[in-house]
Amino acid sequence: MTESIQTIAILGGTGELGTGLARRWVQAGYAVIIGSRAIARAETAAKELRSVMAARGVRDVVVQAMENSAAAATADLVVITVPFGHQASTLEQLRDGLAGKILIDVTVPLVPPKVGTVQLPEGGSAGEIAQRLLGSEVRVVSAFQNVAAHHLQEGHELDCDVLVAGNDKEAREVVIDLVEAAGMRGFHAGPIANAAAAEALTSVLITINRRYKCHAGIRITGPGDDQA
């Protein structure tokens, strides 16, 4: 466990991706706060998470339900998993509670109905938009865009790598530790401007998933591979 990070808030945490990450991190021993605009939805998701963990034999998990603003203010680190259309408005409301913290932005700028087509925003990427909006007081790190929520919901290790982009190297290191705690490998992918690459890959993976009836991810070859 990352010593400086003990409590993680997942905003928009009632969806498949948010609850999938929550399951991975509570299993690794972190305290998790499920955040939502509707507290009733957060409470339902937290209850379901406790039940799932109990069925897997994982006891004494620490999971709470809070409204988004309280979750952001309470946690050591915050994750945002809301749709792109709600990203900016959500962050604007939570700016004060995020000051001094790391924000993991999982947002992908998908534009329905053509979600399988890369359509990056004028701001370059969702990660860049978040960093500009929040300013230097918040260290934004972009990650987890290319991980299928379906696999996160499962309990086994994932044959999937995560690209971690952000302007602060130490913040990227913290997020890579969390990636590993969730059962994957994380890789430094450079500054937040490079988040555009991972975000764009999501649409490519959606297209692959549709064509081959799968839940595709990415794998980085070279680092850590066995040498012949």
Structure tokens at 65: 């339900």
- Taken in order of first residue, the domains within the chain and their CATH numbers are 7-212 (3.40.50.720)
Q: Are strands 161-166 and 139-142 parallel, antiparallel or unpaired?
A: antiparallel
CA angle (10, 128, 98) in 5-degree steps:
40
Query: Is 171 in contact with 132 (CB distance < 8 Å)?
Result: no
**pLDDT in 10s for each residue of the chain, 228 residues:** 766 899 999 999 999 999 999 999 999 999 999 999 999 999 999 999 999 999 988 888 999 999 999 999 999 999 999 999 999 999 999 999 999 999 999 999 999 999 999 999 999 999 999 999 999 999 999 999 999 998 999 877 788 999 999 999 999 999 999 999 999 999 999 999 999 999 999 999 999 999 999 999 999 999 877 543
Strand partners, 103: 78, 140
Q: Which of 134, 154, 39 is nearest to 91 (CA)?
A: 134
User: What is the distance between the alpha carbons of residues 95 and 6, in angstroms, rounded to a whole number?
Assistant: 21
Sheet-wide strand order for 7-11 = 63-67, 31-36, 7-11, 77-80, 102-105, 139-142, 161-166, 185-188
Residues facing residue 34 across a β-bridge: 10, 65
Q: Is 55 exposed, middle or buried (0-12, 13-18, 19+ CB in 10 A)?
A: exposed
Residue 125 to residue 106: CA distance in whole angstroms: 11
Helix boundaries (H) for the chain: 16-27, 39-55, 68-74, 84-98, 126-134, 149-152, 169-181, 195-212
CA proximity to 62, closest of 36, 34, 26, 35: 26
CB 198 within 8 A of CB 142: yes
Cα distances (angstroms) measured from residue 36 to each of 10, 68, 94, 119:
8, 5, 12, 27
